[in-house]
Chain A
Amino acid sequence: MSIQNVMATADIAARRRASVMAALVVLVVLLVLLSLGVGPVRLSPSAVIDALFGGGSDVQQVIVQQIRLPRTILGLAIGAMLGLSGAAMQGLLRNPLASPELFGAPQSAAFGAVLVIAFGLADVRSYALPVMAIAAAFASVFALLAIAGRNAGLLILILAGLAISSLAGAATALVMNLSSNPFVVLEIAFWLLGSLEDRSFRHVMLAMPFIAAGAVILFSQRHAFRALSLGEETAQSLGVDVGRLRLMVISGVALGVGGAVAVSGSIGFIGLVAPHLMRPLIGHDPARLLVPSALTGSALLLAADIAVRLIPSTSDIKVGVLTSIIGVPFFLYLIMRERRALSGGVA
Chain B
Amino acid sequence: MTDAALVTARDVNVTLAGRRVLRDVSLALSSGHLVALVGPNGAGKTTLLRALAGLVPSDGIIHVRGDELSSLSLRERARRFAYLPQGHLVHWPLPARDIVALGRYPHGATDPARLTTKDAEAVLRAMQAADVMEFSDRRVTELSGGERSRVALARALAVEAPVILADEPTSSLDPRHQIDVMKTLRTAVDKGALVIVVTHDLGLAARFADTVLVMAEGGLVSQGTPAEALSEQVVADVFRISAYRAEFQREAVIVPWAEI
Chain A interface (Cβ < 8 Å from any Cβ of B): 1-3, 6-7, 9-10, 13-14, 94-95, 223, 226-231, 233-234, 236-241, 283-287
Partner of B78, one of A230, A231, A239, A283: A239
How many residues of B are counted as interface, with CB atoms below 8 angstroms from the partner's CB atoms? 43
How far, in whole Å, are A223 and B98 apart by their CA atoms in the complex? 12
Stretch at the interface among B59-67, B86-94, B206-214: B86-94
Which of A7, A233, A238, A287 is the most central at the interface, judged by chain B CB atoms within 10 Å of its CB?
Answer: A238
**Would you mind naming 9 contact pairs between A and B with Cβ atoms under 8 Å apart?**
A10-B112, A230-B90, A233-B50, A237-B82, A237-B85, A239-B105, A240-B105, A241-B74, A284-B94
**Would A223 and B92 count as touching, CB distance under 8 A?**
no
What are the residues of chain B within 8 A of A14 when measuring CB–CB? Answer: 113
CB of B193 closer than 8 Å to a CB of A: no
**Please, what's the 1-or-0 string for B66-100, where 1 marks a CB less than 8 Å from any CB in chain A?**
00000001110111011101000111111101110
By a CB distance below 8 angstroms, the chain A residues around B92 are: 94, 229, 284-286
Q: Which residues of B contact A (CB under 8 A)?
A: 50, 53, 55, 73-75, 77-79, 81-83, 85, 89-95, 97-99, 102-103, 105-106, 110-113, 115, 117, 120-121, 123-124, 127, 133, 136-137, 155, 159
Contact B74 A236 (CB under 8 A): yes
Chain B's closest residue to A10 (CB) is: B113
A231 in contact with B77 given A6-B136, A94-B91, A238-B102 (CB within 8 Å): no
User: A2 contacts which chain B residues (CB < 8 A)?
Assistant: 124
Write the chain A residue with the least CB distance to B78.
Answer: A239
Query: Which of A229, A237, A240 is in CB contact (< 8 Å) with B94?
Result: A229
Report chain B residues within 8 Å CB of A1.
Answer: 133, 136
Contacts of A283 on B, CB cut-off 8 Å? Answer: 94
* Residues of chain A with a CB closer than 8 A to B75's CB: 239
Q: In the complex, which residues of chain A have a beta carbon less than 8 angstroms from the beta carbon of B121? A: 3
Taking the closest CB of chain A, its distance from the CB of B85, in whole angstroms, is 6
Q: Roughly how many angstroms separate A95 CA and B92 CA in the complex, as a whole number?
A: 9
Given contacts A239-B75, A239-B78, A286-B92, contact A230 B113 (CB under 8 A): no
Check A7–B120 contact: CB distance below 8 A.
Answer: yes
CA distance A223 to B114 in the complex (A): 12
Residue of B50, B105, B115 near A238 (CB, 8 A) is B105
